[in-house]
Structure formats: C-alpha cells, structure tokens
C-alpha cells in the first residue's frame, strides 16, 4: 500500500498518518491535499501542468506536538524524493555562507539513490546469477583451454576443444549446490576490487562538494583501473560481486534522467526550524546571515535552476513544507517575499491530557508498546492498567504546565523515570511480572509530583 502513496486519496493519506500521529488533523489534511495535488497535476495537459505551482505549506505550533513527526512519517509514505533539513543549519557557525542550493544537490543525490535502488531490484536476480558464476570460477578455476593431456593423440591439433571435461562440469555442479546450501560460507576467496580511496586526503567539507567531485573524476581518470586484491569470505564476496555486476547492468544515464525528473516533478523539501532564520532586524551579529539565508532561499522556493553533478535541476515544482515553533519570532518576522511563498498556513495545537493518553498507547510505535517489548527481551512482563496510563498523562500535563511545555517529549522523560528501577534490575530480577497501576505511578513519580523545583527532573 505504501508504495502507492502517489495514488492515495487524501483520506487514505490521513489514515496512514493516523497510525503514528495523534490529533493535528488540520496539518494532516494539508499535507494530504498537497500530495494529492501533485498526483492531479501529473494528469494535466503539458501546458497547464507547467502552470500549476505547488502551494507551499508553513506549519506552526508549540514544541513537541508533531510538526517534525508528521513530516518524518510523510517521508516514509511518499514515494518521492524527500529531504528534511533544518533551515538553521545554514546560519550555523562554520556554515555561514554555505550555499543554500546544496539542499537541491542533496535532494538529487537522494533521488539518484532511490532510482538506483529501483533499477537494482530489476537487475538483482541476473546480477546474482552472474556473481554466482564468478565465485565458482574463483573457487574452482576452469581448466585451461587446452586439451587435457592424454585425451588427444599427438599431431591432431585440430581437436582442440572448448568443452570442459565432464569431471569438471560435475565438480562445478556439486560446488554450485554447496554454494546454494551455504556450505562454502566459511571459505575464503581473493577478489580484485577497485580501489575507491583517493590518493590524497581530500575531505568533503563545506562548499567542497564540487571540488571533491572534480578531484575524484580527475584521479579516477588519472589512475585507471587501480585495483587491489582483497581476501574475503564467500558470502561477502557474493555480495560484492553481485553489486559489481548490477552496477554493470544498470544504465546510469537512465537513472540520472529519471532521478532528476523525479526531483523536478515530485520532490519535497521539508524546511524545519524555519523560525530560527526569522529575524528582520538589521545590524551586526548573526541576524545579518539569517536574513541572508532567507534571501538565498527565495529563488529556490520560487523556482530557479540549480546545477548539480547530475545535471541542471529546475526547482519550480518542488514542494516546500516549512515548520517552526515560532516561540520568539513570528512568521511575520520573515521577510515578506519569503512569507508569500508559503501561502498555506497550518497551526498545530497544543496537546492535552487525552492526546497524551492516546500517544502513549495508540500509535504503532507507541511508547508503552516500546517499553513492553524492550523489557520482554529480558523476560519481564509489564502490565499497565488504564488508570496508570491516565495518571502518567495527568502528571505529564502538570509538569508541562509547571516547567517548560515540551509537549509529547515530556512523556519520554516521565516514562524513563517511572520505569527506571524495573529497567535497571530487569536482567537479574526475580520478579518477572509487574502490574503498573496508578498507585505505582504516583509512588514512583512522587518526587516529581511534589517537588516545586522541577529543574532537577527536566532532563
């Protein structure tokens, strides 16, 4: 089902997101509509299709309520190149001036890998077969192409044959069977592999990507076929050779073309922490670079061409989803041009007690399920009663109110504290079953409930 997300209707997308994210229905609807719109756009006539630009989304809401989580889940759902990046990265010390276009290059890289993986699936079987043959050649080198002694009488040179003697074929078949049965897994073979390491220490660094690529190409050309011999076990060698064979079978030009088309037509960039670059004050200090980053973002969000090592990419139809808590700054602190490029605004709501109860228990990866599974590996059984869950949720709300409101992240710290003792003693605990009810919760968390100075518990 997940690979069909392009064809999922909004309701289905929301349903998929519901498996992991509680509430925040507006935010889910918005991304569902945005995804569906891309599907619709693909079905338009060429001239109209070019006109329909993505409606970028700006997501705002307090910390720990699911802004990033929704996108993380969407990334897994969307069968599109999806890059998640913190806008604040571009202002970090050492990153100042790092060109914002690099995110498009990263997205293309991602897309190339995606498409390559798809193509790899198509040739895998064939590559595996070829790899098997090559391993056999290594394990049992074919006899030299000359008549084995004793078979042909002297002077009858025309009898040279390329048929292998039957005994060889027989042995090879037996070997093939052993290989298939994994009986040769501890045998070693010697492989010639391409030496990919660069002759000098060229480090990929800020802004160095292109330089590095050029150097790689240069040295690749300078040192053709530099190979080294490596000894490895059969299974590892099989893997290596399969990849090598697959590489030969994959048409990289086609992969590149597909990958760029995918980025241009369905790429999504999630710009997290956008509030961290929101500031319009001019003057000395980091703010200058913040506004600089915003200005650099403009053409990319608006649509421009970016050159990458795979070719030129047009960014017009890439969907941008921005998110930020906007504690200190407001969306209106962004430069107006950038604000205008995120026409769809969604507010995420603060989580309430009922949400916490559901977050604890409902999602596929719910925390309670995680803890139960983790402790089960030690033979310890946890049994949470409903009133225990409710108590945990209440305490979470109360701590969020009294200390800083960190949303659902508070659940992590509360649960760790609650299960601290069981967790610590689990390996050698005599008790193998724990009933966790509201009394247990209150008892274990008594310190937190009473203590006015919560800072000790804010991890």
Ligand X SMILES: Nc1ncnc2c1ncn2[C@@H]1O[C@H](COP(=O)(O)OP(=O)(O)OP(=O)(O)O)[C@@H](O)[C@H]1O
Q: Rule CB under 6 A: which residues touch ligand X?
A: 21-24, 63-69, 325, 359, 363, 407-409
How many C-alpha atoms does 384 have within 13 Å on its Cβ side? 22
240 contacts Mg ion (rule: CB under 5 A): no
Smallest distance from ligand X to CB 107, Å = 21
325 binds, among ligand X, Mg ion, none (CB under 5 to 8 A by kind): ligand X
- 114 φ, ψ (degrees, to nearest 5): -60, -50
Burial of 100-121, coded b for 16+ CB within 10 Å and e otherwise, reads: bbbbbbbbbbbbbebbbeebbe
**Which of 347, 376 has the CB closer to Mg ion?**
347
Q: According to CB under 5 A, which one of 14, 29, 39, 68 is a site residue for Mg ion?
A: 68
Smallest distance from Mg ion to CB 70, Å = 10
**Calculated CA dihedral for residues 227, 230, 236, 241, nearest 10 degrees:** 30
Residue 43: count other Cβ atoms within 10 Å of its Cβ: 8
267 binds, among ligand X, Mg ion, none (CB under 5 to 8 A by kind): none
Give the binding range for Mg ion (CB under 5 A) out of 60-68, 236-244, 366-374, 423-431. Answer: 60-68
Smallest distance from ligand X to CB 28, Å = 10
Tokens 């969907």 correspond to 319
Distances (CA, A) of 123 to 252, 254, 259: 13, 14, 18
Smallest distance from Mg ion to CB 64, Å = 8
Smallest distance from ligand X to CB 66, Å = 3
Rg over CA atoms, the chain? 30
How many Å apart are CA 117 and CA 111, to the nearest integer? 10
**Which of 267, 407 has the CB closer to Mg ion?**
407
171 contacts Mg ion (rule: CB under 5 A): no
Smallest distance from Mg ion to CB 395, Å = 24
Burial of 47-78, coded b for 16+ CB within 10 Å and e otherwise, reads: eeeeeeebebbbbbbbbbbbbbbbbbbbeebb
268 binds, among Mg ion, ligand X, none (CB under 5 to 8 A by kind): none
81 binds, among Mg ion, ligand X, none (CB under 5 to 8 A by kind): none
**Which of 138, 403 has the CB closer to ligand X?**
403
**Which of 162, 327 has the CB closer to ligand X?**
327
**Which of 183, 330 has the CB closer to ligand X?**
330
Helices (H) and strands (E) in the chain, counts: 17, 11
**Which of 325, 389 has the CB closer to ligand X?**
325
Residue number of the CB atom closest to Mg ion: 68
Any alpha helices (H) in 223-376, and if so which ranges? 234-249, 252-266, 286-302, 336-340, 353-361, 367-376
């Amino acid at each position: 089902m997940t690979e069909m997300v392009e064809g999922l209707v909004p309701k289905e997308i929301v349903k998929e997101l519901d498996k992991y994210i509680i509430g925040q229905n507006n935010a889910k609807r918005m991304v569902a509509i945005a995804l569906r719109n891309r599907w619709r756009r693909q079905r338009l006539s060429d001239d109209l299709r070019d006109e329909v630009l993505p409606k970028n989304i700006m997501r705002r809401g307090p910390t720990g309520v699911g802004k990033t989580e929704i996108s993380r889940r969407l990334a897994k759902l969307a069968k599109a190149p999806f890059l998640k990046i913190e806008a604040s990265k571009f202002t970090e010390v050492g990153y100042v001036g790092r060109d914002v276009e690099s995110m498009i290059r990263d997205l293309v890289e991602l897309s190339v890998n995606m498409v390559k993986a798809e193509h790899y699936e198509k040739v895998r079987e064939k590559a595996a077969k070829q790899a098997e043959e090559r391993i056999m050649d290594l394990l049992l080198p074919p006899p030299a192409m000359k008549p084995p002694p004793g078979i042909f009488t002297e002077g009858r040179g025309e009898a040279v044959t390329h048929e292998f003697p039957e005994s060889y074929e027989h042995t090879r078949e037996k070997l093939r069977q052993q290989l298939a049965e994994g009986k040769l897994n501890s045998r070693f073979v010697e492989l010639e592999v391409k030496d990919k390491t660069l002759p000098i220490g060229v480090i990929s660094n800020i802004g160095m990507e292109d330089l590095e690529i050029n150097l790689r190409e240069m040295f690749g050309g300078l040192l053709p076929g530099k190979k080294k011999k490596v000894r490895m076990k059969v299974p590892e060698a099989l893997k290596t050779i399969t990849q090598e064979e697959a590489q030969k079978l994959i048409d990289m030009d086609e992969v590149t073309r597909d990958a760029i088309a995918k980025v241009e037509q369905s790429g999504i960039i999630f710009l997290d922490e956008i509030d961290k670059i929101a500031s319009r004050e001019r003057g000395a200090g980091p703010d200058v670079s913040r506004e600089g980053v915003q200005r650099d973002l403009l053409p990319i969000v608006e649509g421009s061409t970016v050159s990458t090592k795979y070719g030129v990419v047009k960014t017009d139809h890439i969907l941008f989803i921005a998110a930020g808590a906007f504690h200190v700054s407001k969306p209106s602190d962004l430069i107006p041009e950038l604000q205008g490029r995120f026409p769809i605004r969604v507010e995420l709501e603060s989580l309430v007690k009922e949400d916490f109860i559901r977050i604890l228990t409902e999602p596929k990866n719910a925390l309670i399920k995680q803890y139960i599974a983790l402790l089960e590996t030690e033979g310890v059984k946890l049994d949470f009663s409903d009133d225990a869950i409710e108590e945990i949720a209440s305490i979470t709300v109360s701590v969020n109110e009294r200390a800083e409101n960190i949303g659902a992240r508070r659940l992590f710290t509360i649960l760790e504290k609650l299960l601290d003792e069981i967790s610590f003693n689990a390996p050698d605990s005599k008790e193998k079953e724990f009933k966790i009810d509201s009394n247990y919760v209150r008892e274990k968390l008594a310190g937190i409930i009473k203590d006015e100075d919560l800072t000790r518990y804010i991890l």
